[in-house]
Amino acid sequence: MESPRKRRYTEEEYLAMEHASEFKHEFVDGQIYPWGHPDMLGMYDVQAMSGASLPHNIVTSNANFHLGNHLRGKGCRVFGSDMRVYIPLTGTYLYPDTLVVCGKPEIQQNGKMDLLLNPVVIIEVLSDSTSDYDRSGKFMRYRSIESVKDYLLLDSRSIRAELYSRTENGQWTFSEVLDPAGTVALGSVDTVLTMAELYEDVQL
């Protein structure tokens, strides 16, 4: 009998479970796990997600609000963490904290579920349990989406922004901002965010 710990799920099983669940879960490499908690991969049972910290929520809210204001009238739209991204190359389903779509969203529908295929900017907010995964496993999967040009990581434990940007020849560049008076330039959407905006009202 197969050990429950090694149980692998199909995409169809994941989608059926997600239809019926009141909580969000992500799907990676045949495993279903609570949104935001990669350290729970391989648990015997799928667990309900727990809430993020207050700084995490404020940074996410700031990114959604200020980025939305900057992009108004530019043909781009900001979505929060309820928008599921589907990555066909790896058969992965993820919920970014914030994402941007420019032009018409490319949606693959599965029953009542909308699966987004063409984000341009993806933002993840780092926490103790997700920072390593967001920098490695998630980035590896996100960069397989051809439309993604900027991947921004915002720390919820300190004032710190890490930006990965895809160049015209397909290479990725890295820049880091630690200065509270600094700025983050998202070239793909011709927008500059200030660290003051991103960390407004955050108590660290």
pLDDT tens by residue, the chain, 204 residues: 344 456 889 998 988 888 888 788 899 888 887 775 544 443 323 333 345 789 999 999 999 999 999 999 999 999 999 999 999 999 999 999 999 999 999 999 877 778 999 999 999 999 988 899 899 999 999 999 999 999 999 999 999 999 999 999 999 999 999 999 999 999 999 999 999 999 999 998
Residue 121 near residue 137 (C-beta atoms within 8 A): no
pLDDT of residue 36: 58
Residue 3's identity, in one-letter code, is S
The letter for the amino acid at 2 is E
pTM: 0.86
- Start-end ranges of CATH 3.90.1570.10 in the chain? 54-198
Assigned token pair, 173: 């560049």
Find out whether 83 and 100 touch, Cβ atoms under 8 Å.
no
Radius of gyration of the chain (CA): 17
- Which uninterrupted H or E stretch holds 191? strand 191-194
- Residues 182, 172: Cα–Cα separation, whole Å: 21
CA distances (Å), origin 56, targets 7, 39, 82, 204: 32, 18, 16, 11
Measured in Å, how far apart are the chain's first and last C-alpha atoms?
49
Q: Which CATH architecture has domain 54-198?
A: Alpha-Beta Complex (3.90)
